[in-house]
Each structure stands twice: as structure tokens, then as C-alpha cells.
Amino acid sequence: NADAAMALAKASGRNNFQFYTAAMNGAIRDKLALREGLRHAVARGEFHLVYQPQVAMTSGQVTGVEALIRWQHPERGLVSPTEFIPLAEETGLIVPIGEWVLRTACFQNRAWQDAGLPAFNVAVNVSARQFRERTWIEQVDRALDDSGLDPRFLELELTESLIMEDLEKALLSMRTLQAMGVQLSIDDFGTGYSSLSALKRFPISRLKIDQGFVRGIPGDEEDKAIAKAIISLGHELDLKVIAEGVETLQQLAFLRANGCDEIQGYLFSPPVTPAECATLVNARFAVAQGD
């Protein structure tokens, strides 16, 4: 907090004051520069997508991939989406960036199918700001039309908070997307604040158990109870349940024993390039012991 830092700096003398303001100015300049860079990143072709396989618990086969954005910054190197997505949301730049992601993912999935790979879903993360755009549905429709991807192979990952921001309006958009044949899922499930009575109205096909709960398996009794409860809840509501952030065989065994439908995580594969992804989808992952 700037005021507190200044008060502290003043109290401890002039040199410190300069030190604190210099550090603060540096941080602010940094953020401004990053924001400025973000403005041109799409046009300069600095973004690319990586894809992380989602594996069916029963067959070990890849049923889908999640598209995750990467920014190759000319000076800084790879910048994490956890750093620049919030900036993109603040500035509204998430709208053109998000449309680029959506279109790239649709074209990529269609290209995989044209290359003769078995068909699977591509999941795209959607920001609240994007979802609220007046032209959002048109953007999805155009991405599907232009790429020629069958809508059932596109999945949009929404968050509880995005939906609960304006439940009735979100439900309208979700129903439109569902009618178009697009699949919807809830990302980071269990961390938001949607009520069960709202959840039952969501026209979705999948819940993604947040990786925070998966991380606690098998040591944390609460996390295990929550993961188990999400799986039962999902199944009662006729939804598929996928766990993200699965890193260990113990986590896999627990999720398998509790009927989780799909697995995504470093245990099977980190997010990879389209070419690497094409080889992974032909593989069969060892989901059961003795496989």
C-alpha cells in the first residue's frame, strides 16, 4: 500500500523514501509496459496455444484437449497467463485476445480431424468480460463457421463467478450455445459461489474439479471428501466429472476408485504443442494399475 510505504519511508529518512518510490515506480512502469505490449501482441503474432490432453478413466484414451494461451514476449520471454490474463481483463484486451484463442483452437481442432486423427473436443477458457460482449455468440458462431469445426467438438469452460455475475443473462447465452451444439463446462468447480439451485439450471455437460482439491489428495481428508462429493453431485445431475491438476498415481487411484470420469494433469502430460498433441492422442494412457 503506497500511503503506508510512504509514511514508513518518511519516518525512516530521505534515502529510504527515494528507495520506496523508486521501487514503486518500477513496479508501475513494469505493469504499464506489459499492458502496452499486450495491446500489440495479437497483431505481432506473439501468442500461441498449447494443448493439454484430457484422458478417459475407463479407456485411457484422449477425449479432449484444453487450449491454454502462451505469450512469447520479445524481451521477457514466456509470460504466464496468470500474469497477463488479469491485465487483459482489466483493459478489455481480453476480448480480441479471447477471440483469437477461440478461432485458433477451432481451426486447430478441424486441422487435426482433417489430418485423420480421431475426433476429440477442444476446450477453450472464457473470461467474464468476453462472455458479456454483445457480439459473443456471433464470435463463437463465426469461429465454427469459418473453421468448419462441428460445434459438438468445441467446449467452452466457464466459471461459477462468471455465470453468477448475472445468472439469468448467463443462462440465456448458455442455452443459445447449447442449442448451437456447443458443450459447456464449469472450470475450477468448488471455488466459486454458485448455489446448488443455480447449478441444477446450468445447461452444462461437465464439472472440472479444481486442482486445489486434487492437490490435497491423498493426505487431506477434507479435500478428499470434497472431491468425492463433487463426483457424486456431478453424477446425480447427469454430468461428467473431470479432475484437473492430477500429478500422482495416488491421486489417480483415489479419483478412479470414486468414479471420476476423466483426468487432466502432469501425470499424463503437460500442455504441449499441436504436433506433440497429435502423437499423444493416438496413445493410450495407463489409467488402471497393471495397464
- The residues that touch Mg ion, with contacts defined as CB under 5 A, are 125, 157, 187-188
Looking at the Cβ atoms of 9 and 99, the one nearer to ligand C2E is 99
Q: At what angle do helices 136-147 and 94-114 cross, to 10 degrees?
A: 30
Query: Residue 69: which of Mg ion, ligand C2E, none does it interact with, CB under 5 to 8 A by kind?
Result: ligand C2E
Query: Residue 265: which of Mg ion, ligand C2E, none does it interact with, CB under 5 to 8 A by kind?
Result: ligand C2E
Query: Residue 68: which of Mg ion, ligand C2E, none does it interact with, CB under 5 to 8 A by kind?
Result: ligand C2E
By the 8 A CB rule, do 65 and 52 touch?
A: yes
Q: How far is the CB of 287 from ligand C2E (least distance, A)?
A: 15
Tell me what percent of the chain is helix, strand and coil, each rounded to the nearest 5. 50, 20, 30
Looking at the Cβ atoms of 65 and 85, the one nearer to ligand C2E is 85
Looking at the Cβ atoms of 60 and 81, the one nearer to ligand C2E is 81
Binding site for ligand C2E (CB under 6 A): 52, 68-69, 80-82, 85, 98, 101, 125, 127, 187-188, 211, 244-247, 265-266, 271
Which three three-digit cell numbers place residue 30? 513494469
Q: How far is the CB of 126 from Mg ion (least distance, A)?
A: 9
Looking at the Cβ atoms of 37 and 190, the one nearer to Mg ion is 190
Classify residue 290 as exposed, middle or buried by CB count within 10 Å of its CB (0-12, 13-18, 19+).
exposed
Looking at the Cβ atoms of 37 and 245, the one nearer to ligand C2E is 245
Q: What single letter denotes the amino acid at residue 247?
A: E
Query: Residue 223: which of ligand C2E, Mg ion, none does it interact with, CB under 5 to 8 A by kind?
Result: none
Helix, strand, or coil (residue 34): helix
Looking at the Cβ atoms of 19 and 96, the one nearer to ligand C2E is 96
Q: How far is the CB of 81 from ligand C2E (least distance, A)?
A: 4
Q: How far is the CB of 66 from Mg ion (least distance, A)?
A: 6
Query: Residue 247: which of ligand C2E, Mg ion, none does it interact with, CB under 5 to 8 A by kind?
Result: ligand C2E
- Give DSSP secondary structure letters for 59-103: T--EEEEEEEEEEEETTTEEEPHHHHHHHHHHHSTHHHHHHHHHH
CA distances from 158 to 47, 128, 155, 193, 241 (A): 21, 8, 10, 13, 15
Q: How far apart are CA 38 and CA 35, in angstroms?
A: 5
By the 8 A CB rule, do 207 and 181 touch?
A: no
